[in-house]
């Protein structure tokens, strides 16, 4: 049965002095987190998990995390992916208590109706004719949306699904070629394999 597995990773810690300036790189702690993440992923690959590609956000903190991680995964294709850049999904309906939060989201980060992130899920979670395992180095809200989707939770419920910097979340889609051909329910429901795994990070670098 073909499967698509995504290892969703939040970038390492951003430079604290620049965290409100948008596109800034990693702090020293973030670089440590990225190194520890890279070693963890290399260990997974050595034990049989074969990564087909690394997709990463084009923001500096994600690019720098990817550069460090890719050094531990020689031969794996790496490319920037606009589908997983930093976005804030703004559902069409949500509890009134979140009105102020959504009102303050900058225009360049807003994803009305989560249209862009729905496209990301559809594209990256697609199941083909063969098994595929991809690494996605992205941002907190993006990972929260993927997890919300997999759990079929209310559209606003990505809020509160916080990922630690350098943590690993794994989601999986599968398709049964012998199942009835129903376009509304293709294959089995997606599964959350693990969430916010920080076992590879030392105590001090966790954020």
The secondary structure of 14-82 as a DSSP string is BPGGGTTSSS--B-HHHHHHHHHHHHHHHHHHHTT----EEEE-SSHHHHHHHHHHHTTSTT-EEEE-G
User: What would the two tokens of residue 11 be?
Assistant: 């970038």
User: What would the two tokens of residue 163 be?
Assistant: 């990922």
User: What would the two tokens of residue 179 be?
Assistant: 């199942």
Q: What pLDDT score was predicted for residue 15? A: 87
Q: Is 6-138+146-197 CATH 2.60.40.2470?
A: no
On whether the pTM is more than 0.85, the answer is yes
Spatial separation of the C-alpha atoms in residues 50 and 42, rounded to whole Å? 10
Q: Closest by alpha carbon to 12, among 22, 28, 2, 135?
A: 28
- Name the residue with higher pLDDT: 115 or 21: 115
pLDDT band of 188, cuts 50, 70, 90: confident
Q: What pLDDT score was predicted for residue 125? A: 97
pLDDT band of 24, cuts 50, 70, 90: confident
pLDDT digits (tens, 9 = 90+) for 147-171: 999 999 999 999 999 999 999 999 9
SS3 97: helix
Task: State the average pLDDT for the chain.
Answer: 91
Does the pLDDT of residue 190 top 70, yes or no? yes
What integer is the mean pLDDT of 123-150? 97
Which residue shows structure tokens 């690959």?
Answer: 45
């Amino acid at each position: 049965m073909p499967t698509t597995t995504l290892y969703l990773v939040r970038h390492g810690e951003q430079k604290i002095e620049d965290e409100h300036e948008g596109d800034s790189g990693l702090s020293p702690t973030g670089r440590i987190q990225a190194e520890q993440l890279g070693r963890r992923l290399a260990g997974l690959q050595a034990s049989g998990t074969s990564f087909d590609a690394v997709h990463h956000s084009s923001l500096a903190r994600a690019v720098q995390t990817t550069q460090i991680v890719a050094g531990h995964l020689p031969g794996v294709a790496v490319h920037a992916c606009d589908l997983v850049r930093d976005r804030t999904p703004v559902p069409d309906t949500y509890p009134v208590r979140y009105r102020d939060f959504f009102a303050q989201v900058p225009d360049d980060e807003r994803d009305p109706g989560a249209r862009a992130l729905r496209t990301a899920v559809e594209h990256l979670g697609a199941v083909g004719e063969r098994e595929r395992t991809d690494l996605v180095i992205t941002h907190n809200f993006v990972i929260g949306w993927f997890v919300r989707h997999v759990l079929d939770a209310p559209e606003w419920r990505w809020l509160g699904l916080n990922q630690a910097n350098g943590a690993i979340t794994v989601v999986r889609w599968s398709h049964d070629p012998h199942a009835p051909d129903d376009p509304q329910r293709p294959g089995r429901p997606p599964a959350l394999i693990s969430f916010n795994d920080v076992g590879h990070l030392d105590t001090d670098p966790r954020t």
